[in-house]
Amino acid sequence: MTEMRYRVVKPALAEASPSEKDTAPVMQAIDIQHRYGDAEILRGISFALHPGEKVVLLGCNGSGKSTLLKILNGLIQPTAGHFMYQNEPITPKRLRTPELHRRFRHEVALLFQNPDAMLFNPTVFDEIAFGPRQLGLQDVSDRVNHWAEQVGVSRHLSRPPFSLSGGEKQKVCLAALLALDPKVLLLDEPTAALDPRSTGWLIDFLSGLGITILTTTHNLSLAPELGNRALVLGEDHSLIYDGPIQTLLADMERLAAANLVHTHRHRHGNIEHRHTHVHDWQ
């Protein structure tokens, strides 16, 4: 394909109305830098997330997306800079106070790229119930059944999570996180290991949720489905774009700089040419 196909923005993904945008950001990253040994992972990352926004974090492999998400979940202390959740600075150290810890872990959930890393309970039911049980809620069973049904794993409730397929494991993880009714959902490359049908399901499911969502992906074709605002991490580990996704998709130069599009020889019949493009993902 030599052109980008623009998709009509569905109402469910409509950008937050101006009045909402004026409200305080739910999450704010301020000049976050991170080094690991001698390697620079993140450089000068600053942005804000507003309630209800659906934002896509784009970047090629190795640009630091996973690390940024772990910083935003208070799991890693950035080497410099800080981030705020509801105007409170969050670091692993500050999270040692039980009150803040409980509130933060309740309200901000992270879906790891490798779903295996998250699953450890004996049955799918226990896995989804893990969060609510920690809150000491009375309606644990109802919650579990509700979310299991929402993601479509109700028939697996008494099976161990390890026996499920990759896509089903992902669904169990999602249900387990959503069972806590978080306010912010961070998703690390959720579509990377999914088959096409599961990916379609995920996109529909996420667009139906009313909470703030930040999704990372390196798949440019899916990006418009996952949000209407894009943050782009360049190969130099800094934020090279923060704005509407449709504008980004028209900016081939910036996309190429971020290693999100490629060039290679194209053959059409007897004609051979090369240009920068993206393959439309079916």
Give me the residues that bind other proteins (CB under 8 A), please.
Answer: 38, 70, 73, 75-76, 98, 101-102, 105-106, 109-110, 112-114, 116-122, 130-131, 134-135, 162, 176-177
Q: Which two tokens stand for residue 184?
A: 């912010």
- Kindly tell me which of 89 and 122 has the beta carbon lying closer to other proteins: 122
Q: How far apart are CA 244 and CA 208, in angstroms?
A: 20
Shortest Å, Cβ 118 to other proteins: 4
Shortest Å, Cβ 212 to other proteins: 17
List Cβ neighbours of 204 (8 Å cut-off, separation of 6 or more). none
- Kindly tell me which of 176 and 249 has the beta carbon lying closer to other proteins: 176
Shortest Å, Cβ 132 to other proteins: 10
* Closest CA relative to residue 57, chosen from 227, 259, 175: 227
Shortest Å, Cβ 111 to other proteins: 9
- Kindly tell me which of 116 and 204 has the beta carbon lying closer to other proteins: 116
Shortest Å, Cβ 126 to other proteins: 9
Tell me whether strands 239-244 and 262-268 are parallel, antiparallel or unpaired.
Answer: unpaired
- Kindly tell me which of 99 and 272 has the beta carbon lying closer to other proteins: 99
Q: How far apart are CA 55 and CA 187, in angstroms?
A: 10
- Kindly tell me which of 13 and 193 has the beta carbon lying closer to other proteins: 193
* Residue pair 115/153 in contact by the 8 Å Cβ criterion: no
Cβ burial, residue 93 (10 Å; 0-12/13-18/19+): exposed
